Structure 1
Amino acid sequence: MSMTMGICVSSTFKVCYYNHNKAVTVTAQKMSVRVPYNLKEGQSRIFHKLPSGLNMEVIVQKKKKTRNFVEDENHYHPPLVFVHGSYHAAWCWAQHWLPFFSQSGHDCYALSLLGQGESDEPVDSVAGTLQTHARDVADFIHRNVQSPPVLLGHSFGGLIVQYYISNLGNDRFKENLYPELIGAVLVCSVPPSGNSGLVWRYLFSKPVAAFKVTYSLAAKGFQSSISLCKETFFSDTMEDRVVKRYQELMKESSRMPLFDLRKLNASLPVPSVPNSSLKVLVLGANDDFIVDAEGLKETAEFYGVSAVCVEAVAHDMMLDTSWEKGAEVILSWLKGLIN
């Protein structure tokens, strides 16, 4: 397994790797996170070296085996790989969902995409593209996950998962660049066509909300306003002190944009997968300030499934005050995935 332990410090370095017999040099800036996420009991932080030579942070929590724990052909618990969205990193899954799902018998891996969390930062204006992020996820799975996992993506991370799905079984590749999945979960995901439809609907139907969401996300207003951060990501019942902690983690763990949105939207929608037998759960939040009901419906129809909308939770379903509601829906779906 290609996992390497390490500590991120502030430094610039160069690495060389070979691509089709040509030496390629990559310059990168190691992230120095001033507001670190403190791991919970049973969690570990590793750094997976990508083919580029850059290191990707992974928070790992293996399944907790008890006396009554049974794992056989009738009780299979697939590993879970989590992909965050913009302004987040691996820590957003580690707070509640990694302990929950590991307790339920699943090995859990939460990734921090390049330029996010404590992952290395490429020398570019943005962290990557839909394609490079998906390949990084695929490389981690290929080298470190022994059996087909369930891939879970939140917000723009959901779009990365959708691109991954579109490449499964693609015979253009001589090697298995996108390892097999046993299922996928899209949590408050940006729809296959991107976020432009969401923005235009807000402009015409909710102009005030459109201004708020644009200021909050595009202008990073959530970083300086507790109330706006809460309205954007969380339920209004969440205590301000908790919102402030997450606000600090978001600010420090996303120092460069996840995508160039103009280039991203030009590459969308993601390719369709009409003959795919992969089981997909499309999960939305009733109080989502970012992804509206139409966006949720678009994603569900794209995969030919019915969306599940969780009541009384906001966009950051895995961090919200009622985080267990979405987790329980996913756990129920997982139990029916194999059995």
Structure 2
Amino acid sequence: MATLLLSSHTISLSQPNFCFPRRTKKPRAVLNRTQKMQVPYELKQGQTRLFHKLPSGLNMEVIVQKGVADKDPYDRNSENPPLVFVHGSYHAAWCWAEHWLPFFSACGFDCYALSLLGQGESDAPSGSVAGTLQTHASDVADFIQKKVLLPPVLLGHSFGGLIIQYYITNVKNNQAIEMGNFYPMLTGAALVCSVPPSGNSGLVWRYLFSKPIAAFKVTRSLAAKAFQTSLPLCKETFFSSTMDDQLVLRYQELMRESSRMPLFDLRKLNASLPVPSIPKGSVELLVLGANDDFIVDAEGLRETGRFYGVSPVNVERVAHDMMLDCSWEKGAKVILSWLTALNK
């Protein structure tokens, strides 16, 4: 199930056009692989598709776009943190490559969008689901440890946000290290329309009692996958009402092709939640929601903010798929402003 966030306060979107430097090292590509998506995503100019081999032997798709802004040779603090993007259910690395990778790379950030196992062009594990919260977070950590030179900023959407929440609880976790799972340090993390720390069960129950019609639509759309065949339902679930229908159809097709198996067993996942708490202020964190998010409610966003001791930000006139919506630049500018503050 894709997932959720809204907010407790609104901010101005008239952000300055900050831009930053570039880094140069290029990872190696794995070539000549059979495409797993019958409708493959065509990369944009400046993007490269790589495959990172995990300890399991499976390959994880990574779409890379390096920072292109000029670096000031006299500014010792001008090196930007790399950005690592983690998608949610029914999506893959392409959802970031469409708008946000070109945007952030143009401002000097090296960008890496991952496709979790069983999604996009990544290999699929054996079994009926792609993994668990633990295995997905461990795969992200393995990629960062082996391929990312500086402590990155992790950005996660929907259930990808929950994976990031699990990741940050394991940074400097001695028990995780003893079990062979090393979680590299981060510069920060941004939770974009993320599932709250307690999972999606609270959201479902609130919808059942306060918005029964919406609850039925969300369940039909996501659990029954009706969004894959119904254009109106796909649009209402993920996008703004002003989104062009032809664009919605394109993304609907890509989402249908992206997810060959569920990210999680939701019953087992919810039984393992909430994620462990972390000391307030131990990680620089942005909690970002969309005012027109059909999936997540305002209380879900406030829960996430309270859990981490930060004030969540609500972006107006944007829907759940903030990075693909017709006003995608609104959320991108909020994140850019936050990244600018981190870099000072």
Q: By the TM > 0.5 criterion, same fold? A: yes
Aligned-residue offset at 1:171: 1.9
Q: Which residues of 2 match residues 175-190 of structure 1 at below 5 A?
A: 177-190=182-195
Match of 1:27 in 2: none
User: Which amino acid counterpart does residue 212 of structure 2 have in structure 1?
Assistant: P
How far, CA to CA, are the matches of 1:129 and 1:281 in structure 2? 24
Runs of 4+ in 1 over 4 A off after TM superposition: 1-4
How far, CA to CA, are the matches of 1:217 and 1:267 in structure 2? 21
Is structure 2 residue 339 aligned with structure 1 residue 334? yes
C-alpha contact (below 8 Å) 2:203/2:300 kept by paired residues:
yes
2:37 paired residue among 20, 33, 36: 33
Q: Which residues of 2 match residues 268-307 of structure 1 at below 5 A?
A: 268-274=273-279, 277-307=282-312
1:65 paired residue among 61, 65, 69: 69
How high is the TM-score relative to the length of structure 1? 0.91
How far, CA to CA, are the matches of 1:148 and 1:76 in structure 2? 11
Match of 2:123 in 1: 120
Q: Which residues of 2 match residues 12-161 of structure 1 at below 5 A?
A: 32-66=36-70, 69-70=71-72, 72-161=75-164
Match of 1:319 in 2: 324
Match of 1:5 in 2: 30
Aligned-residue offset at 1:3: 4.7
How far, CA to CA, are the matches of 1:298 and 1:70 in structure 2? 41
Q: Which residues of 2 match residues 139-288 of structure 1 at below 5 A?
A: 139-172=142-175, 173-174=177-178, 177-274=182-279, 277-288=282-293
Name stretches of at least 5 consecutive residues in structure 1 with no aligned partner. Answer: 10-30
How far, CA to CA, are the matches of 2:69 and 2:211 in structure 1? 49
Aligned-residue offset at 1:255: 1.3
Aligned-residue offset at 1:276: 5.0
User: Which amino acid counterpart does residue 46 of structure 2 have in structure 1?
Assistant: G
Name stretches of at least 5 consecutive residues in structure 2 with no aligned partner. Answer: 1-25
User: Which amino acid counterpart does residue 320 of structure 2 have in structure 1?
Assistant: H
How high is the TM-score relative to the length of structure 2? 0.89
User: Which amino acid counterpart does residue 171 of structure 1 have in structure 2?
Assistant: N
How far, CA to CA, are the matches of 1:276 and 1:135 in structure 2? 23
Aligned-residue offset at 1:76: 3.0
How far, CA to CA, are the matches of 2:292 and 2:58 in structure 1? 37
C-alpha contact (below 8 Å) 2:92/2:119 kept by paired residues:
yes
User: Which amino acid counterpart does residue 111 of structure 1 have in structure 2?
Assistant: L
C-alpha contact (below 8 Å) 1:4/1:49 kept by paired residues:
no
How far, CA to CA, are the matches of 2:67 and 2:248 in structure 1? 29
C-alpha contact (below 8 Å) 2:193/2:296 kept by paired residues:
yes
User: Which amino acid counterpart does residue 286 of structure 1 have in structure 2?
Assistant: N
Number of equivalent positions = 316
Deviation string, structure 1 residues 59-88 (Cα, Å, up to 9, x no partner): 00000134xx42633323110000000000
Aligned-residue offset at 1:169: 1.0
User: Which amino acid counterpart does residue 37 of structure 2 have in structure 1?
Assistant: V
SS at match of 2:113: strand
SS at match of 2:52: strand
What is the percent sequence identity of the aligned residues? 73
Higher strand residue share: 1
How far, CA to CA, are the matches of 1:313 and 1:321 in structure 2? 8
User: Which amino acid counterpart does residue 108 of structure 1 have in structure 2?
Assistant: C
Q: Highest relative contact order (Cα 8 Å, sep 6+), 1 or 2?
A: 2
Aligned-residue offset at 1:242: 0.1
Deviation string, structure 1 residues 36-78 (Cα, Å, up to 9, x no partner): 1000000000000000000000000000134xx4263332311
